[in-house]
Chains A and B, each alone.
Chain A
């Protein structure tokens, strides 16, 4: 029975993530416009875009290889795999034994790598330039993220995400100050990611491929939101082995957390503006330094404990 429930929770979670990704993107666009004093597009516009793109005839360059044809699916598949491992409304889902924080980070890397390969395979200058820029940015951002999650693992004593969240729920993820510093680092990374301009990586995609590339980007943002929400605000999340009634509370709290996060992100973006492209490495560097500071704080507290 427990196995059946965990499997059901897993399928429900994946379905919700797929459904929420375009909706969250639409809500962010709408909020962005509202904060700027415009009426804003419909919240469900991304869904309509997906349908419209999937009906269009895709154009492919004659010279591209099978890599360019496979990589959009690989990118979305890797992001979806990462999304399946990050819990949203309940812990103890069927795939929780695989939910290793390093695996999740590396699955997001696979998705980025797939996008870069597709861009370079096109043989055109703008996507190649975009792949270079994205790679240079990731050289700073990925170690920062990896260091942040490893710091949390140091506090939790395990790389398993469910165990880390479980310890955070119990208030055992100490010191709390280090946890707050890691959260700041991860928020800085999300802010940097949200400030990345449309960099031309999807310029060569069209039709259903473009729909897949866009869905990948939206799902990636949702994975980030879920990861931060789960790690630093695991309130209301149903515990391992809890009854489906507890899921309802978890679902409601998850919706509230999503709403609050996108509201906060849009408010910050409107107030502070997007980070200029040339300043992104500085912001990511600060995030990496914060993650390192948190690591040192954890070690220092372990030494004095």
Chain B
């Protein structure tokens, strides 16, 4: 069953590559349609192996030097992440095809190349194909903007896989699984993988590019989580040292706080949404770190909870973040700006887009029944196993991570309140904002369909994980407790999103019914100006008197830092120019080859 599916997926990826190459020669509308169709087809192809839980299958491509032929594989882990990134890419491509004015061909080409490269890296079963796939996707995103440093990422990943491969063998995943991995090499692999994934997630050019932001949220971040799972959790197996788990845990926790803070204070709506997406990457990293620690301590249940939260973080990034990103683009296209302090009152002019943005943002917040809350609940379930892990030195980072995740959840909720309250609600702040018009019907349909899809994993987290992620979680931890605790069919007391939503709907409906008994009809009035007369020329009040989105965070305590000593003038390093990029890549590649040669 899976063999033809893997073949079709390979053909789908090749077709996307061809589309990227021929995009300039095709009509723009045809490009968008083809990209949407190919992405959607890829998503549909991933569903049968996911739902039926079929075993892993491989496909060898007769390309490359002897003994270094390229290998592709499809297993439950890769199928889950492929489905997630194909779903996100379908939405992005469909949005590009329907939005007005039509998206430039360069961005359609970027989408096709990025998706094809990332899908290739997820399907790859050897280091060479993994590096090729990542090189395509990194090149598609960063080369047009003159940023060459992220091109080191494929080399880092190639070096990571080569370090895991046994001496004398090609960097093939099957060969790595068959051999025992040296813990020191596994640790270096983990360090290289973490560096590469951090580079993938946190590299960003200065200018606005909504396609790149949406691709980062929907394609790059899930693929980063996949790379961490594959190269740190699955391939080295038990050889990975436990401190790698702690590094991932603390780095992920720190990233969630920093990005949560950034989301609640960023002046632009697209920047804030991207910060929320990167926070999902931090959550995924923390979940993987926790799973590694729990696995080392022989706690498969706790590892299962942590991995389930990682899978939900990937879904959140692929669905809710992409939705918010697309809605932000639709808003900026109509209102003429991404600046939060110049938006406002869009719920009246663009109701469907406003609903889509609100669904995406609230889904990421730590409130039920969003997918963000389900992930948070699973992460805390895993943290509850901390007393059974090692001594206080091991337990302390886990406790600190729990505190960091709680703080990050509050920051995300504050960020969502700020974005919804300032951009959507209130009164328009500028004439251009007041003149904003709703997106066209096809764009609205795409946004609302994605909103519905992003609601599903929050409403039915147990069923979603059971259907899509359970085989992968079982393969990595030999347990599926994390899934079972969210299912209404088990005796254990877990988090049941639907009954909680039903209770909330029942009580809210009851209050609304009671409030309708009030005998008086509401009387409409003008804007409240605190008893002051409205300014001359502004009969409906001064729109700039509304909140501009600052002050949603507490002030940081002032810490007196020691002054940095001034260096002599000749010691000031000059920043490397863009021309130095290729030389830097060559030097790094040579250094890595030397490292590999020394490692035998």
By a beta-carbon cutoff of 8 Å, the part of chain A in contact with chain B is 54-63, 65-68, 70, 72-74, 76-78, 80-81, 84, 95, 97-98, 100, 102-103, 106-107, 109-110, 113, 116-117, 119-126, 128-129, 131-133, 135-140, 142-143, 146-147, 150, 153-154, 157-160, 163, 203-204, 207-209, 212, 281, 288, 292, 295-296, 298-300, 302-303
Contact = CB atoms under 8 A, between A and B. Distances in A.
Nearest to B530: A126
Interface in B133-158: none
Interface string B211-228: 000000000000000000
Nearest to A140: B554
Contacts of A107: 368, 500, 504
B362 to A, nearest CB: 8
Nearest to A288: B403
A56 to B, nearest CB: 7
B368 to A, nearest CB: 6
A226 B252 CA distance: 35
Interface stretch (B58-66, B288-296, B412-420): B412-420
Interface stretch (B105-113, B385-393, B571-579): B385-393
Contacts of B547: 120, 125, 128-129, 131-132
B399 A212 contact: no
Given A142-B409, A296-B399, A120 B425 contact: yes
A117 B421 contact: yes
Nearest to B499: A98
A77 B504 contact: yes
B347 A67 contact: yes
Nearest to A113: B417
Contacts of B410: 138-140, 142-143, 146
A300 B390 CA distance: 11
Nearest to A68: B425
B518 A54 contact: yes
Given A124-B528, A131-B421, A292-B403, A110 B504 contact: yes
B527 A58 contact: no
A305 B399 CA distance: 18
Interface in B364-397: 365-368, 373, 376-377, 380-381, 383-384, 386-388, 391-392, 395-396
Contacts of A109: 366-367, 413
Contacts of B366: 106, 109
Contacts of B499: 98
B451 interface: no
Contacts of A139: 264, 407, 410-411, 414, 552-554
In this complex, the member of B418, B499, B546, B555 whose beta carbon has the largest number of chain A beta carbons within 10 angstroms is B546
A239 B4 CA distance: 59
B546 A128 contact: yes
In this complex, the member of A121, A135, A138, A140 whose beta carbon has the largest number of chain B beta carbons within 10 angstroms is A135
Contacts of B392: 296, 299-300, 303
B348 A81 contact: no
B395 A150 contact: no
B466 interface: no
B455 to A, nearest CB: 16
Contact of A63 (B417, B496, B520, B527): B527
Contacts of A153: 380, 384
Nearest to B540: A63
Contact of B528 (A61, A132, A160): A61
Contacts of B67: none
Contacts of B566: none
Contact of B530 (A59, A103, A124, A163): A124
A153 to B, nearest CB: 6
B373 A154 contact: no
B457 to A, nearest CB: 17
Interface in B488-513: 493-496, 499-500, 503-512
Interface residues of B, number: 86
Contact of A81 (B427, B503, B528): B503
Contacts of A65: 347-348, 425
A135 B546 contact: no
Given A59-B522, A117-B420, A124-B527, A299 B493 contact: no
Helix, strand, loop or mixed for chain A's interface?
A: helix
A132 B524 CA distance: 26
Given A123-B546, A154-B387, A299-B395, A136 B427 contact: no
B211 to A, nearest CB: 30
The 7 closest A-B pairs by CB, nearest first: A77-B508, A120-B421, A302-B387, A128-B547, A77-B507, A143-B406, A121-B425
B525 A61 contact: yes
Nearest to B550: A132
B422 interface: yes
Given A100-B377, A125-B530, A78 B396 contact: no
A76 B126 CA distance: 56
Contact of B520 (A98, A131, A163, A207): A207
Contact of A103 (B344, B395, B495, B525): B495
Contacts of A208: 515, 518, 520
A24 B194 CA distance: 54
B426 A120 contact: yes
B305 to A, nearest CB: 11
A87 to B, nearest CB: 14
Contact of B526 (A61, A72, A131): A61
Given A123-B426, A136-B552, A147-B402, A60 B525 contact: yes
A123 to B, nearest CB: 4
B363 interface: no
Given A113-B367, A135-B552, A204 B508 contact: no
B316 interface: no
A62 B526 contact: yes
B565 interface: no
A295 B402 contact: yes
A154 B555 CA distance: 31
Contacts of A98: 496, 499-500, 503
Contacts of A59: 522-525
27 contacts: A54-B518, A56-B520, A57-B521, A59-B522, A60-B522, A63-B345, A72-B515, A73-B511, A77-B506, A77-B510, A100-B494, A107-B500, A116-B417, A121-B426, A124-B528, A125-B530, A125-B547, A131-B417, A132-B547, A142-B409, A143-B406, A153-B384, A158-B493, A159-B380, A159-B381, A208-B515, A296-B392
Contacts of B597: none
A270 to B, nearest CB: 28
B453 to A, nearest CB: 22
In this complex, the member of B384, B410, B420 whose beta carbon has the largest number of chain A beta carbons within 10 angstroms is B410
A117 B373 CA distance: 19
A128 B544 CA distance: 12
Contact of A102 (B377, B395, B507): B377
A57 B522 contact: yes
B551 interface: yes
B183 interface: no
Contacts of B388: 302
Given A57-B521, A117-B425, 15 more contacts: A58-B520, A62-B527, A77-B509, A121-B425, A122-B528, A136-B555, A139-B411, A150-B402, A207-B520, A209-B515, A292-B400, A292-B403, A299-B395, A302-B388, A303-B391
